[in-house]
Amino acid sequence: MKFTTIPTMVALCLPFATAKVCLSQSDVTTLSTHFGDLVSGYTQKLANQTLTTNFMDYSESINTLIDSAGTTPNALLGLTFTSRANFETLSAAQPSVPFQVQNTWYNCDTITIRWLSTQSPQPVVGISVLQTVYRPRQGNATNFKINEVWAEFDSAAWLIDSGFTVTPPASNREKREVTFEA
Ligand SMILES: *[C@@H]1O[C@H](CO)[C@@H](O)[C@H](O)[C@H]1NC(C)=O
Ligand SMILES: CC(=O)N[C@H]1CO[C@H](CO)[C@@H](O)[C@@H]1O
């Protein structure tokens, strides 16, 4: 008897066990604002509130910036930040930049942000996809944290804003490569 009733009970419980809490508009607004604040004015307290400890960030654009348009030390297609601590070390060393959220779209656990960084002389726009996880806690503005980010943006403009100059090829027949010089 037991052997037939246990699977039945498991089946009955399954919808409850898999019920998932989804992001609300308020969670999306809070996380998008905090994500922007980490770029424009990084603090460890905000990083702790916003990112999971095993936070990962994938971005060829950021790898290119770290590599000064070369291919080392960061592999271009590799993981950009391997943890929150690694993100903190690199972010704390970076000058703050303006960051405005232009649009957000979301589903149950993922937020897509279109953003503008009004740097000079070149504006930079980008898209960041934030994968979140449910982490309820007391005194929380949101019960979600960012666990993974996939982001790409105009890193050529960002390099120019960082003081790099671009040397175009002398003619169209030459190899179409762009040389960045510090
Ligand atoms: C952030 O979290 C780390 C542990 O992950 C802790 O050592 C540190 O004190 C926290 N910082 C703040 C400002 O809360
Ligand atoms: C201040 C605040 O927003 N607290 C909430 C944190 O999350 C728990 C669990 O979902 C809520 O019950 C609190 O209201």
pLDDT (tens digit, 9 = 90+) per residue, 121-154?
999 999 999 999 999 977 778 999 999 999 999 9
Domains of the chain by range and CATH? 22-153 (3.10.450.50)
Q: Please choose from 46, 48, 137 the residue to mutate so as to test ligand 1's pocket, defined by most ligand atoms within 8 A of CB.
A: 48
Tell me the C-alpha distance between 41 and 50, whole Å.
Answer: 14
Atom of ligand 2 nearest to the CA of 141: 3
Strands 51-58, 144-153: parallel, antiparallel or unpaired by DSSP? parallel
143 lines ligand 2 (CB under 6 A): yes
pTM: 0.81
Judged on CB neighbours under 10 Å (0-12, 13-18, 19+), 63 is buried
Among the listed residues 150, 152, 144, the one whose alpha carbon sits nearest the alpha carbon of residue 52: 144
pLDDT confidence bin for 1, thresholds 50/70/90: very low
Q: Which residue has the higher pLDDT, 41 or 61?
A: 61
Q: How many angstroms is it from 100 CA to the middle of ligand 2?
A: 27
Split at pLDDT 50, 70, 90, the class of 9 is low
